[in-house]
Structure 1
């Protein structure tokens, strides 16, 4: 959405920070090949007269210095400096218009299947051309050669700095934004410079940005009074319409009074499958669906559409919708395969703020992806969406949230947290650029499961996704035989370097060698059927018993999913929840009713998606 430009404040803090950006001379080439990228930053900084820590800071906010296998980001950026080239990346199509998911997921209303239309990429996604002109080289070179990519980013920063008294405005302009969003990007860069960072990149390069202390920190921009955002991010209001429509219909969300009426239990992470301007147009369409926030890829700008007290139509499961906040991230689950650091940081600050406000635990049972939301009935499972996809870095995201994953249990624990090394974990998926086509090798949060402790054994059977009983596939959209980073599972067996977990009623095996663990011991609680019960039903929503409904509210069926949870099997518990149903089928909120029952459920990690079992059917046991 266009924003008005404004000048940036020249605070004493910024002046102090800039004056400390010293030591700009290029360092000699390192003999250690893992130091090559560090040398590339130093050489480019010296060549174009850019402070080395400014160059490093900008690159970190874009890519964390990674090359991402030469693949584009979700906003068409390439290489450590995120030089954008939409011509090469291509305009992605939307999986949100595929399948049969009803975003509302409420059986009391007709299914909703609006079409988004084509996604029009913004003109700004073509910075590689400007950098190529400055270096008198080809765009392909800047996309594929990390050293040249860094030179291109340095050349752009130098151009943006020309005639300016300091580097703040140049950094802000590099974000591709104006106004508060650009200022927030620059603040994040200089905050990173102040704190410093050292990491090993996805291709094994050791890079260090040495901390440059400052006496104070920059002033973060203020936000409008009508948005629910932390002060440290740029946030704007782009309201979604609550509007009557012809045919006794209305859109595009439901008014509520959460958390007074219902506790908010989950935050659902989505990707937009569209570009910023298109997505914001959709958010303002009363005939379309809704979500609470959208976050922009290039700079982390946040737009709020629906107040968090109200219920948005975003997750395909009405129980989850009524108990969650939905956050969309500009990008594509498959076509573009990595998300910018600016987006991760902005999103983590927002989620941390919301989690504190509503008492939502910072774990993967409550901070979930759209791909972790269960189907409501057997019929809806195949059409459920699978964003943000296997390339969302949950481990890094939870580090930013201040709630790192894994490593809290004792060796030999009966419960594990999935936590592979994101960069090194590169399962082979297909379908990113067409059915059956191999996706480019990329770091991933997903761990693929096998039916036996062998790479050659078939994948598991997900009878919800594959009703004919055929094994799951390696298609990027097929989540039927994979575990996600941060999720916890009960151990079902160990065979050499292989570990099995209980998963959809089966043993799912994954390679877990001592020198490269992809799962860490955990502590927590597990559920197992009560003695005397051979199996217990599993559900996609925690609806009340029929007796709880008042006469004017239709009873909602408690429909089991097509899976088996048998005696002897154990599944990680996220705690007991009450049964609830929010009856909201009319525009007049006076007709809306929150039905709360006596029936209790336990949320479990049953497969890739969460699920619910009746508390009376299971025992809760500690796992150590």
Structure 2
């Protein structure tokens, strides 16, 4: 049996593959690393790169199937197989694998098998041949389709998240304590048709309104998911409600963009786990449908993650959300205390439990009220060296800033990316400098505090410069020509 499993060409997406065969042993027998083994065998069976498969699962659920309970959008298991009126990847997985829907919902090995089968079926539909399937970079459009987004900008956001994980590596613990790893690897994704899709918030049709919070990206919710109003003239705003989405950042944005539906839902803001990115989806003057009796008087902030999984609540998320909350409170005169900044579970008549027991209110309120925390000990001047002065800079969301410096004595430019979140943690960070007519020079890797210095002689020449921290990127045109 094992010899046959090692011949991927014999195992096609539409094949009926018994679950016990994918496990590689009699059903019910124990393995030392059942989840890692399930990824390896599903990868081999459906010719989906193993590390890509793990990265998709981690992006969706951090490898926690939540005991077979659905996400807010009706997704099940570590691969988030979805069953809702618009998306039926769960049912498709059942058809492809011949495994019962109930098993796909609750059994992790089956769920991973189902996810791999759906990915392979999408690859076949998109014409991904045998050679292309071996290259993770070629799967970008497949991954984008797997996210089931209704808007191409959100599909790109979803796929970019997966490829950021693939590039930076994954080390995740399952609910049973098993560790599953993906080693960092340099992958330049082939975006295909998605290369023409602008990043979320850059499309003019999505950025028609000015955000209320300067650090946010504007992506409007569907008009059926909120009520146009004139707050605070019509209703005073005196509460901020903290939510946990029971889903991913991209999935939550997509869910709020979808409608009309029987259960209209939205929040004013959505905050990402990995780097604290903020998307505004409803203007604060309007009533988002997020907190029942408190809709009229509150601003709602959704946070990527699940209430029963602490790994989603990162320091970057806390700091970014706290800065947003502090900004809202200052503008409306809301006291910065727990009587006015509350959880969804504290709304009268609420039947929700979020933000749940793992939300650290002590840390969060400390940040809201300007509490301390680590700061980056490095500055662009200290990274580039004596004689360099900042002549330009650009924010990288809440993850950092990239700086262009110039030394008037030597005629050299320097670029440095200085992180402002995930300090002390090795995360994907880069800086580059391109002097017109010369080859671009880049410093890229997993860095704890900064990328750079990237230095080049550029007197009387135009330069391009930029960098990346987390999932934020800045690229200049040719400028600073004299």
TM-score, reference length from structure 2: 0.48
Q: Which has the higher contact order (CA 8 A, sep 6+)?
A: 1
Structure number with higher helix proportion? 2
Structure (1 or 2) with the larger CA radius of gyration: 1
TM-score, reference length from structure 1: 0.39
